[in-house]
């Protein structure tokens, strides 16, 4: 006698089935909690008074060059095309052969009343410079894209751990029961390392990031089939719930069954709220123009930035946007130049719009890549100048959410090779983001593998210089 498929479905089978349809979106957003009678994404009190209620994380995949964006190095003009010798272990990991210092092809200005350093091609971001806090002291461990992406997103270079958005929703829940608590807005192709960059890891799958498709319908199968009314759906769900409850009583310990029951309910609720949320035409023309929507090359990222604001406005706790790739090993002037054109106006529009709507004070905006770039060009000569990976020097900037706006914190050395002032490992950056959202990394733990685990792995410290 055949065993019904439902009793054979494992948690791993369920996770392998995740995709971009409405049912899978709901599945990634609402699975059974350890306390089965409690809604896992219900709002929770923070550990301490929070500076921010929500976070928008702008991930520039590929490693944008701090030297060519927000950390000018005049010394490189003097050293241009002089031979460069590495003193660290990166030499064996990167390209071999002779290497040469390379000056930035971009000019810099002092933007805003605060005098923030900014390359002149950031024409729109310069208008909100006084709302930004630049941090030049962050360091990571890896020179490889996938492992560095995992570390920046999850704290673990080797993947498999919960993303920072998962930890935030685990600690705070969501303010809207009809939407996922952690939403991801990727490029058409996923970043290096794939969906593990926003996975729930060892946390319950309630807290996994929910990706929305970059092209076409953000969520497939959002509308019910033709001829099926919401009354019909409600009656079917009620009947299914009754049958599933009976089945669950005879199969104790099957969390995946509870998860499917919960996911159906969230899908039903999302059908009512999500269509209007995703309809950006409801925004006035002035707001759309602020983000560069309807124009090229800003339309795609502008739409994601505006959608991020709308998601936060509706109670989503953590939204991560991807833009890239910034991996400019050559032709950095053209490559970085084109990428800045795509994101400059949308990001500046996002900051200005959050401020206009009164959301900036309660929303933490983070901009970063997985590492910075080196001051040298590797083995390439001629006009195709680019830069290699650099885990010891990078720029991260913040806005809103209780950070010191109009300040530049930390510094790299005269060539941008390494952070030398207010130096902190990425674990401290993570701990600081959690603290701004009212979460204590030492208390935000989950028992797994025989010990209590946390985002910082083994503990970190708050970067107090960043907090207002």
In a domain, 369, yes or no: yes
Is 6 inside a domain boundary? Answer: no
DSSP letter for each residue of 20-43: SBHHHHHHHH----SSTTS-TTS-
How far is residue 263's CA from residue 348's CA, in Å, rounded to a whole number?
36
Residue 272 CA to residue 378 CA, distance in Å, equals 54
419-454 tens-digit pLDDT = 999 999 999 999 999 999 999 999 999 999 999 999
173: left (phi over 0), alpha (psi -120 to 50) or beta: left
Inside any domain, residue 189: yes
pLDDT > 50? residue 284: yes
- pLDDT (tens digit per residue) in 25-77: 554 544 433 444 457 889 999 999 999 999 999 999 999 999 999 999 999 99
Q: Which residues contact 307 (CB under 8 A, 6 or more apart)?
A: 185, 212, 218, 278, 280
Print the domain residue range for 419.
44-227+283-466
Q: Give domain status of residue 419, yes or no.
A: yes
CATH of residue 297's domain is 3.40.720.10
pTM above 0.75, yes or no: yes
Tell me the C-alpha distance between 68 and 122, whole Å: 11
For 224-258, how does the pLDDT look when each residue is reduced to its tens digit (9 = 90+)? 667 666 666 667 666 777 777 777 777 776 666 66
CB contact at 8 A, 363 and 55: yes
Number of structural domains in the chain = 1
Q: Is 48 inside a domain boundary?
A: yes
18 lies in some domain: no
pLDDT tens, residue by residue, 53-63: 999 999 999 99
Burial of 399 (0-12, 13-18, 19+ CB in 10 A): buried
Q: What number of other Cβ atoms are within 10 A of residue 34's Cβ?
A: 10
What's the pLDDT at 155? 97
Instruction: Assess if residue 55 is contained within a domain.
Output: yes
Residue 259 pLDDT exceeds 90: no
Kindly state whether residue 268 falls inside one of the protein's structural domains: no
């Amino acid at each position: 006698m055949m065993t019904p498929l439902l009793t054979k479905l494992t948690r791993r089978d369920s996770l392998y089935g995740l995709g971009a349809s409405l049912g899978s979106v709901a599945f990634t957003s609402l699975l059974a909690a350890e306390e089965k009678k409690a809604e896992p994404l219900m709002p929770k009190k923070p550990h301490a008074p929070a500076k921010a209620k929500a976070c928008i994380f702008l991930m520039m995949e590929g490693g944008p060059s701090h030297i060519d964006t927000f950390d000018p190095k005049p010394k490189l003009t003097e050293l241009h095309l002089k031979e460069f010798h590495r003193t660290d272990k990166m030499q064996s990991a990167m390209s071999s052969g002779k290497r040469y210092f390379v000056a930035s092809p971009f000019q810099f200005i002092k933007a805003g009343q605060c005098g923030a350093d900014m390359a002149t091609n950031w024409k729109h971001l310069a208008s909100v410079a006084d709302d930004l806090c630049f941090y030049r002291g962050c360091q990571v461990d890896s020179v490889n894209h996938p492992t560095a992406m995992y570390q920046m997103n999850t704290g673990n270079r080797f993947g498999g751990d919960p993303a920072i958005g998962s930890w935030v929703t685990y600690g705070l829940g969501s303010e809207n029961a009809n939407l996922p608590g952690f939403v991801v807005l990727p490029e058409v192709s996923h970043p290096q390392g794939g969906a593990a960059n926003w996975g729930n890891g060892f946390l319950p799958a309630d807290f996994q990031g929910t990706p929305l498709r970059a092209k076409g319908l953000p969520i497939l199968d959002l509308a019910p089939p033709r001829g099926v009314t919401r009354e019909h759906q409600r009656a079917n769900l009620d009947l299914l719930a009754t049958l599933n409850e009976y089945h669950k009583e005879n199969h104790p310990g099957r969390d995946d069954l509870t998860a499917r029951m919960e996911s159906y309910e969230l899908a039903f609720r999302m059908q009512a709220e999500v269509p209007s949320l995703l309809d950006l035409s409801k925004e006035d023309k002035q707001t759309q123009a602020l983000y560069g929507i309807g124009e090229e090359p800003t339309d795609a990222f502008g739409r994601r930035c505006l959608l991020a604001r709308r998601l936060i406005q509706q109670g989503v706790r953590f939204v991560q946007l991807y833009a890239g790739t910034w991996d400019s090993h050559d032709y950095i002037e053209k490559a970085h130049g084109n990428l800045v054109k795509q994101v400059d106006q949308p990001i500046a529009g996002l900051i200005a719009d959050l401020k206009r709507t009164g959301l900036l004070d309660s929303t933490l905006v983070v901009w970063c890549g997985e590492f910075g770039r080196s001051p040298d060009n590797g083995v390439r000569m001629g006009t195709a100048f680019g830069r290699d990976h650099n885990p010891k020097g990078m720029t991260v900037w913040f806005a809103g959410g209780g950070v010191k706006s109009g300040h530049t914190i930390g510094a790299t050395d005269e060539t941008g090779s390494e952070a030398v002032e207010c130096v902190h490992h990425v674990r401290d950056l993570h701990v600081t983001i959690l603290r701004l959202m009212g979460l204590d990394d030492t208390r935000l733990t989950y028992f797994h593998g025989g010990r209590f685990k946390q985002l910082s792995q083994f503990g970190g410290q708050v970067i107090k210089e960043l907090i207002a």
